[in-house]
Amino acid sequence: MKIKSAYFIGIKGVAMTALAVVLKERGVKVSGSDVTDIFQTDEVLEKNKIEVLKGFSTENVPKKTDLVVVTGAHGGMTNIEAKTAESYGFPVFMHGKALGMFMNEKDGISVAGSHGKTTTSAMTAFILSKAKLDPSFAVGSAEIIGLGAGGHNGRGKIFVAEADEYVTCPKTDSTPRFYFQKPKIFVITNIDFDHPDVYPDVEAVKMIFVRYIENLSAESIIIAGIDNPSVQSVVKNLDRNVITYGFSPQADFRIYKVSSSNGTTFFNVIGRGIDLGEFMIRVPGKHNALNALASGIAANNVGVGWEMIKYNLKKFSGTKRRFEKIADIDGISLYDDYAHHPTEIQTTLKGIREWFPEKKIYLLFQPHTYTRTKALFSDFAKSFSAVDTAIITDIYPSARETPDLSVDPKKLVLEINKFKNNSIHLKGKETITEFLKENVKKGDIILTMGAGDICNWHSDIIQSLKKW
């Protein structure tokens, strides 16, 4: 399919922006549209000189284009622009299908899992890039520190992509997005019950992984996080080349020691009976040691040696919105993280506490979607014990859902406080910044967390603390 121009409907989402940058670097004329809200990708799109039209209307759709790519976030194929593009006879692809089409031109490394796929795919892209393999990649982050945008069209033969298990289009197509990817290497970090709006339980999520792997090439390599029981059951009887990793004694690649010191996580690995020595990463937590090991195994299976992998992992400083340091304000450190599922929250906060055992940590958590908050309510309540104060904001709804007023953040606070009496509900950015101004002291940590727009609050937080 020869493509000289492409139009993206809902271009500001991190996955859409990453693919838009890939096409822009291929020499394609790229433009798109989206809502006027501030997004973390705004700077990336501007830097890459990609025009973004405001809002959605029939007038936005170009009269001539070779491809239209649609996000599922704003109605998907029912979006007025998607309908208009179809009426013009243009090829209109949902994002998952479009990504798969370009990825499958190369040797793919797909990174899937309920948690950790962004960091693991970013680490993999980073290792391969620093090893001079110049991979293409499409990662669900606005920026990979040290590489630039989350999307890149490389000259090498490898394409690294995040593989999302969410459905292609909630309104019209229940195909999991990663089904369009046909990789040589498939990484599964873990499998958890997420996206209760489209999957009834974890068994349904496991089944989409089983069916997907059954349709991969017999020569494909499956890299599986064996500590996760759901991953264990998925790969247990596979007639495939499966490489397992984790802390488990049964893992092919086993982490046997982890420690943290001065902003660095250290871990040691035995791989198939060989001691690979000590690894260092500049991101916190045992979960990131696992992510690093998964990325290392993937890189090793495309020819990168373990010493090079260890050397490059030492340089990896993370991605935007994954324990990203935003600012230091008069001795107060402000961080940001995308975690929005109870498992992610617990593991992230535990890792941060390991890095800062003596510091007071103020968490600003913005629950993301009414459906997730309702379905995982009791799990959320158990997730905040690692911090000193957990400030729960109002719920940030998905563009795909109708607000459910029976799901009340005040009720969540009451439930959290049954496990550790450290939580309060504060409504609105102004109220929260005033609370921080009155309570936070020099040496404390502030962490914003969630998949909504809380990442846009940082300038207000910084300004309020500077007024002392």
CATH 3.90.190.20 region(s) of the chain? 324-466
148 is in an annotated binding site: no
Pairing state between β 136-144 and 148-152: antiparallel
In CATH terms, 324-466 corresponds, of 3.30.450.190, 3.40.50.1110, 3.90.190.20, 3.40.50.300, to: 3.90.190.20
All CATH 3.40.50.720 domain ranges of the chain, comma separated, are: 5-95
Q: Is 115 annotated as a binding residue?
A: yes
Residues of the chain with CATH 3.40.1190.10: 104-315
> Is residue 119 a known part of a binding site?
yes
pLDDT along the chain (468 residues), means of 10: 94 97 98 92 96 97 98 93 98 98 98 95 98 98 92 98 92 93 98 87 95 94 98 92 97 96 91 97 92 99 98 92 88 92 90 90 95 91 94 88 87 94 92 94 95 91 80
CATH of 5-95, one of 3.30.70.20, 3.90.1150.10, 3.40.50.10440, 3.40.50.720: 3.40.50.720
pLDDT value at position 68?
98
| pLDDT at residue 467, rounded to an integer | 57
Task: Find out whether 295 is annotated in a ligand binding site.
Answer: no
Global pTM value: 0.86
CATH topology of domain 104-315: UDP-N-acetylmuramoyl-L-alanine:D-glutamate ligase (3.40.1190)
Structure tokens at 343: 């498992």
Buried b (16+ CB within 10 A) or exposed e, 19-29: bbbbbbbeebb
116 is in an annotated binding site: yes
Q: Given this model, what pLDDT does residue 317 score? A: 87
Query: For 310-342, how does the pLDDT look when each residue is reduced to its tens digit (9 = 90+)?
Result: 999 999 988 888 888 899 998 999 999 988 989
Q: Inter-axis angle of helices 117-130 and 306-315, to 10 degrees?
A: 110
| 426, two tokens | 């504060």
Q: What pLDDT does 243 receive? A: 98
Locate 394 and state its tokens.
Answer: 């109002």
- Confirm whether residue 117 is marked as ligand binding: yes
State residue 197's pLDDT score.
83
Sheet strand arrangement including 92-94: 51-54, 29-34, 5-9, 67-70, 92-94
114 annotated ligand-binding residue: yes
Give me the count of residues in the chain. Answer: 468
